Structure formats: C-alpha cells, structure tokens
Chains A and B, each alone.
Chain A
Amino acid sequence: MPAVRRVTRRVGLPCVGRMQPEKKTMIEYRIHGRGGQGSVAAAYLLAAAAFEAGFTCQAFPAFGAERRGAPVMAFVRIDEKPITLRSQVRNPDFLIVQDETLLLDPTLTNGLKPGGAMLVNSRKTSDEIAEKFDTRVVAFPATDLAVKIIGKPIPNTALLAAFLALTEHVPQDALAGALRGRFHGATLENNLTLIAEAAGAVEAGAWKETADA
C-alpha cells in the first residue's frame, strides 16, 4: 500500500493513455460488513442519496454465502455521467467497515486508492486502528449509537451519515430523502434522529479533499 499523500483533487484516476485526459468524475466505494448489518441496504441508500443529489449511481452486492455473520461486501459508484462499468469495485476511493473484526482480514484494504480513507465502526480510537493501516482512518462507534437511538445493533445508517459528513460527497438531506424512500413510521423517525446525531459526531468535511493522483 503506497503511503498516504496530500490531496490535490476531489476524485479520480487520470485516464490512461489519452492525449487529453477527460476529467474523471467517478467515485467508488466498498462497504464491508457481516450478514445482518445491512451492508447491501447501506450501498443502496448511499446510491439513492447520490441520486437524490443529482448524481448517477450504481450499487450492488457481492453475493456469497447468504447467512448472518458471514463477511459480505457491497459496492457503490457515483458519477456525473452514465456508468457503464459493471465489475466489482477493485480500487475504491473509500472503504466503510461495519464490523471491526473484519480489520483482521488482510485483504480488507486491497486496492484502496492512495489518498483514500476508511471509516470503521469501532469503539477504538482512530489512531489505534490507523497505526495498523497505511491509510487515513476514522473510527466511529455506530453500533452503540444505533442501539441508543433505534434500539437495534444495526450500524449502517449511522455510518453513512458520518461518512457523508466526512466526505461531503452528498448532502445529509439527500440521505434523509433516501431513508424516506425506504422506511416509514417509527423506523424512519428513529433513523432520521440517528443520522442527525451521527453526522454531528465527526469532523465535517475532513475528507472533502481526497485524492489519488
């Protein structure tokens, strides 16, 4: 994993081999979690929020053994242009890790772009986790917050809110809009409370300028 570099551009790989490279606008995300934590739902919510904010989007799971507790991955791409690529996300700009036991998986950060970053659902400090990884890390106790506010250990919406607060890729009200498209009643109200609190718990815009270059 190359060393973290200071960031200069908002996103993207330069197009390879073009005389005049088009500006690449696609941002790619990989969500790691365990069955039951709502990783696929998180991917769909992130994509739906991006759509609410005017982007094109694509979200899909990597299907494996479909059972609670099994490691699962889901992928999201957002862009200003139509997305034709269908492969799994191999070189994400960002990782969202819903379960800290997955930090033990040596392949977790495979392909993460230099200048990328990783948000981890954990009670540990960001520094504690960061010392084992060659990328920027923010740790955030999303499960605790979810238990406190919605009464269930499902960290996905809290993590998304924190993630969007850090990156500012998509405004928080777009995430709220995506939640309204998926949930109703008390579940919706509780999740809206949860995302508002989660968004305020991290440094706003800390990952706004990201990079790879």
Chain B
Amino acid sequence: MREALEGSLAIARAVALTKPDVVAAYPITPQTHIVENISKLVADGDMHTEFVSVESEFSAASVVLGAAAAGARAYTASASQGILLMSEVMFNIAGLRVPLVMTIANRAVGGPLSIWNDQSDSMAVRDSGWIQIHCISNQEAVDTTIQAFRIAQETDLPVAVCMDGFVLTHTMEVIDMPSQEEVDAFLPPFEFAGALDTANPRSMGTLVDPNYFAEVRHSHHAAMGKALAKIEEIDAAYAEVTGRASGGLLTVDGPKKAKVGIIAMGSVVGTMMAGREHYGGEVGEARIVKLRSYRPFPAKALRAAVKGLDKVIVIDRAISPGMGGVLGTEVSAVLSTLDKAPKVYNYALGLGGRDIPETMYRDLLTTIEAKDAPRFAVFDADLEKLPPEDR
C-alpha cells in the first residue's frame, strides 16, 4: 500500500515484515529512528522478535552473529563510528559465512566529528566480506531490505543494505509498502545449513592454520562471485511478487548515443537524474549508471554499461586519502581491460553532508569538457577556505 512514510519508519516496518527472530542494535545518528521504531513495534506487540538492547555496537554485532549461528533470522543496524566499532565482528560474521542483515545508515566517519551523510563508513568495511547494496530511494531501501534476507540465506553471506543517512533515513516520501502476504510469498523461513546444532555438535570460528586459510578466502571470494547472479535473480523474484524491481546489480539510464556517463551509488543518483532533466539540454544528456551492488562488484555488467562512452564521471561519496576515490579507482581498474576504455574522471563530493544541488550535474559535465580537467578532485571543496599551503 502506498503511504507517506519517513524512511526509518519504513525500514523498521520492512524488517518486521521479514519476521526476524532476533534484533540487536545500539542507537547512533542517523540510524536511531530505525531502532526506535523496531523497539516500539516490539513493545506494542506488532513485531514478535527477541529485541536485545545492548551497550555497544560491538555487542550488537556479536549478538546477531551468535543468533544467526544458532539458526535465527537476525538483523542489526548502525552507522559511522558504530560501524567501526562493529568492524572486528563484521569481519568474523562474513569470514564465518554467517547469513544476517544489517542496515548501514551511511554517515561520515570522524574525526573531525560529523553526524552527516557520506559513505565513508560502509567503505571502511568494504573488505570485510559482506555483500553491500546501495539504495537511491526509500522505496529501494524497503524492497532491498526484504530482498537482503533472502540473498543472505541463499548465499550464506551477510548483507549490508546501505542507505544515505538523513537524506533517506529522515526523509518522508511516498513508499509502496509490501503486504505481509507478499513478503511471506517471497521470503521462505530462515534456513542456515551451517547453523550450530546440539544434536550434531561442531565448532565454528576455530583456529585455521596456514594449510587451510587460503582456501577459506578463496571460497569466500568465489561465493561473492556467485552472489552476483543471486542478487539479480532475487530482485526479479521480488518483482514477480510485488511488481517492483530495484535494479539488479546496476541499471543504465539515458540515451544510447551518449558520450558521457555518470556512475554513482546511493541517493546522489536521483539528484543527477533531476539535474539531467533540467540541464541536459544545456550540457548534454549523460548516461547514468546506478550501481546497486557494490560488493560483489559487477565488473562485467559495468563494462557493458559503459559501451560507446568516451568519458565517465565516477562520483565518490568517500575518499581514500593518498589515493583518491575508492569507487573511481575500482571502476578504472575494471574498465582497463577494455580495448576502448572511456576516460575516467573521479570526483568525491558531498563529503560530511555537503549538500549536492542539481546544478552539480551541469558543473560536472562542464568541468570534464576542459582538456586539463583533473582526473580526481574533492569536487565541491572550496579551496578559498584553506590556507594557501593546503590548497
């Protein structure tokens, strides 16, 4: 049913529709409303879940690890410093191949302290071995959250659903909430073949010596590769039930003859689409590639998506100081195998909650027209604010 809902409330209700056995979370801005709303649903008797109030994100992650290992459908949510505090457990969850779901309400990582949105937190745990899926709207966040539970249990991998903090979590918009019947038809009860079982005792997370560690990593990497097809399949299966897909691994939108492309993740994709509508006539209509699955990285689909382009602008909502944009670097890497690879212009923008206006579309396209356009920049940094030696 279509409703006007705040993103966080919609996510709480989406989680409730998946009937998790255990939820453990510690509140942190801008994820707080998700946890508050789940807590309220449980307290009001509208959600039958073991809600574990914990004293830190480390414990939240540990509780859901233990719960899922015991065969329970488990969910948590966090952001920013909370993700960093979870990070040790996140590597364990993924490395032990425990399927569970987390929402990352994307926020900058300190210092300096910032409560506002960028994607530094999910990028910081990029290599933890979790699936990471990005959402451009609250509709996608709701649909992807429900899909994530099925992806997790069909891949034995944990799934992080990334949604921009504030920009999505605190935005009220029209969301078509699936019914309980639809979610029940789509999502089978939780099953985890590797779950601990007292009738058949075994250990999980034991010491792995050099004879086997490489094999563990190899199979994890291979499982991520296989997850690519699962993410697409499950999005299609969800569409069969609800009539809505969220875009598989990535979606390509815009003219086939476009010579310039924009590749981005998260809510900035919507702003770029609005920018194209307004400024497309002035600066040209770019092909916009909405990257949904960040881990696993859809290299093959991305190579196909840029076919015919001369230039691509890769928007990063995070930075790896000393290197540049993380997404931009990875896009450059996967496109390097093409015979006619487009030139990659990688711009970090919207860091620490800097507002991204729709004029950004025009400014990006205008910038790369110049012969000496920088291949990487913190695009919206105002260098006048810095002492000359830092510019």
Dominant SS among interface residues on chain B: mixed
Number of B residues near A (Cβ < 8 Å) is: 32
Residue pair B4, A61 in contact (C-beta under 8 Å): no
- Is A59's CB under 8 angstroms from B273's CB? no
Instruction: Tell whether, in the assembled complex, residue B172 and residue A18 are in contact, meaning their CB atoms are under 8 Å apart.
Output: no
Residues of B within 8 A of A170 (CB): none
CB proximity to A under 8 Å, residues B159-178 = 164, 166-167, 170-174
Interface residues of A in 10-51 (CB under 8 A from B): 15-19, 43-44, 47-48, 50-51
Residue of B nearest to A51 (CB): B4
Q: Does B50 lie at the interface of the complex (its beta carbon under 8 Å from any beta carbon of A)?
A: no
Q: Is A83's beta carbon under 8 Å from chain B?
A: yes
Interface magnitude class on chain A: 20 to 34
How far is B178's CA from A84's CA once the two chains are assembled, in angstroms? 21
Given contacts A58-B172, A60-B172, contact A47 B268 (CB under 8 A): no
CA of A10 to CA of B35, assembled, Å: 41
A58-B171, A59-B171, A63-B116 in contact; A19/B267 too (CB < 8 A)? no
B residues adjacent to A (C-beta < 8 A): 3-4, 6, 30, 115-116, 136-137, 164, 166-167, 170-174, 267-268, 270-271, 273-274, 277-282, 355-358
Known: A60-B170, A85-B271, A86-B171. 9 other contacts (CB 8 A): A16-B278, A17-B281, A44-B6, A44-B172, A58-B173, A61-B166, A63-B115, A84-B271, A88-B355
Taken together as a complex, chains A and B put the C-alpha atoms of A127 and B169 apart, in Å, by 40
Q: Does A126 have its Cβ within 8 Å of any Cβ on chain B? A: no
Of A56, A83, A86, which is in contact with the most chain B CB atoms at under 10 Å from its CB? A86
A203 to B247, CA, bound (A): 48
Q: Is A110 an interface residue (CB 8 A)?
A: no
Check if B356 sits within 8 Å of A87, measured CB to CB: yes
Contact A84 B273 (CB under 8 A): yes
**CB within 8 A of A18: which of B115, B174, B281?**
B281
Which of B173, B281, B282 has the most A CB atoms < 10 Å from its CB?
Answer: B173
Q: Which of A15, A56, A87 contacts B277 (CB 8 A)?
A: A15
| Minimum distance in angstroms from A65 CB to a CB of chain B | 10
The distance from the CB of B99 to the nearest CB of chain A, in whole angstroms, is 31
Residue of B nearest to A83 (CB): B173
Within 150-205 of A, Cβ neighbours of B (below 8 Å) are at none
Is A57 an interface residue when CB atoms closer than 8 A count as contact? Answer: yes
Inter-subunit contact B115/A86 (CB<8 Å): no
Whether a CB of chain B sits under 8 angstroms from the CB of A123 is no
Question: CB of A6 within 8 A of chain B?
Answer: no
**Within the complex, what minimum Cβ distance (angstroms) separates A169 from chain B?**
15
Q: Bound complex: CA of A19 vs CA of B4, how far in Å?
A: 35
Docked CA distance A47–B115 (Å): 25
Q: Are B4 and A48 in contact (CB under 8 A)?
A: yes
Contact B277–A48 (Cβ < 8 Å): no
